[in-house]
Amino acid sequence: MQRSDASPPAESSFRRIAPRAVVGGILMGLANLVPGISGGTMLLASGVYTEFVEAVAAITSLRIRRRPVLVLASVVSAAALAILLLAGPVKELVVHRRWLMYSLFIGLTLGGIPVVWRMARPAGRATWLGAVAGFVAMGLLSLGQMQGAGESGDSANFLWLIMGGLAGAGAMILPGVSGGYLLLVLKLYVPILAGIDQFKEALRAGEFSVAMQPAVGVLLPVGLGVILGVAGVSNLLRWLLRHRRDVTLGVLLGLLLGAVLGLWPFQQSVEAVVGETVVKGQLLSAAMMAALDAGDLPTEFFRPSAAQVGASLALILLGFGLTTLIARLGGEDGG
């Protein structure tokens, strides 16, 4: 790929890219549910990345045209549907099958590297310096996560949830940056997924008054953050790709490589012990124990068996292969 910043060709009809827009939206929604997978990379893999960035930038600049509106509507609606339907199952898998899921996430993340590399080549000095900077930045985020950065009893307040929406929005646009990963660092991953699942279950049961609590307390601030973040990041990224292309793509590549650092698969939730386990910055009390969500527990590393190592490697290869196959859909944007 030589010019990701070029405007989409006029002769390319929306009908032609509609299937890729829907597939890209679904994959972007799933990517924002799991730590380590970038929504932007999934859009690249589906071949709608340039279309999406241009559409968001055009609409937020009040240049309303039919094609950008249709592209944005297709991607966003497909992503929202995937998040709404799969938030609960994905959360359960991450909490209770962490080492299996993280192994798969590593492979899916590594599979995005060839996609971004095709955008960055031929790599010059600025590209490599940007890659180093991006890798170091993601390494520092990973270190902060392992040391428990952001753990506090009120981490899911309204303002912090807006910040979480901003972080997730950045991941929707930036290839290599995982919204789920950043939400883990901010300690908002489980609260947001739990709120989505609670909202869905309340609607399913017809309990609309119950649904209002997660709608106002979780979905509203996160949604505000996402809207602000998508508008700001898309316009910024378009400018950077046009005026600082080499270093920008280098940073994106480094972020993608560094994201794997925080996904060491062999970790598990610690055993909850009243008066000893720290949850959200507080010692676990008997009252807290009664309402404890397994997803709130801190994690610890464990020594895997030979079978677990083998299964982990197989899942990494599987994830890499899946992302590679997805990338074949995106020959225009990805190459």
Tens of pLDDT, residues 248-264: 889 888 877 887 887 78
pLDDT above 50 for 335: no
* Percent of the chain's residues with pLDDT above 90: 10
- Report pLDDT for 1: 42
Residue 185: pLDDT band (50, 70, 90) is low
Show the beta-strand stretches assigned E in the chain: 267-269, 278-279, 282-283, 299-301
Q: What is the DSSP letter of 11?
A: T
Residues 51, 52, 56, 61, Cα dihedral to 10°: -10
CA–CA dist 325, 90 (Å, integer): 22
φ/ψ of residue 148, rounded to 5? 85, 25
b/e 25-37 (16+ beta carbons within 10 angstroms → b): bbbbbbbbbbbbb
Q: What is the DSSP letter of 226?
A: H
pLDDT, one tens digit per residue, over 191-232 is 887 788 888 888 888 888 888 888 888 889 988 998 888 888
Enter the tokens of residue 208.
């609309």
Cα of first residue to Cα of last residue in the chain, in angstroms, is: 4
- Report pLDDT for 206: 86
Query: Cβ contacts of residue 92 below 8 Å, gap of 6+?
Result: none
pTM over cut 0.85: no
Tokens 């972020």: give the residue. Answer: 255
Q: Is residue 126 within 8 Å of 247, Cβ to Cβ?
A: yes
Tokens 């505000």: give the residue. Answer: 224
pLDDT above 70 for 99: yes
pLDDT above 50 for 5: no
Q: Where are the domains of the chain?
A: 14-263+301-334, 270-300
Range of 13-17, 75-79, 108-112, 140-144 with top mean pLDDT: 75-79
pLDDT above 90 for 168: no
Query: Cβ contacts of residue 20 below 8 Å, gap of 6+?
Result: 46, 47, 48, 329, 330
CA–CA dist 102, 264 (Å, integer): 7
Residue 282: pLDDT band (50, 70, 90) is low
Round the average pLDDT of the chain to a whole number and report it: 78
- Report pLDDT for 293: 66
Query: Cβ contacts of residue 153 below 8 Å, gap of 6+?
Result: 280, 281, 282
User: What is the Cα 212 distance to its own chain's centre?
Assistant: 26
Residues constituting the chain: 335
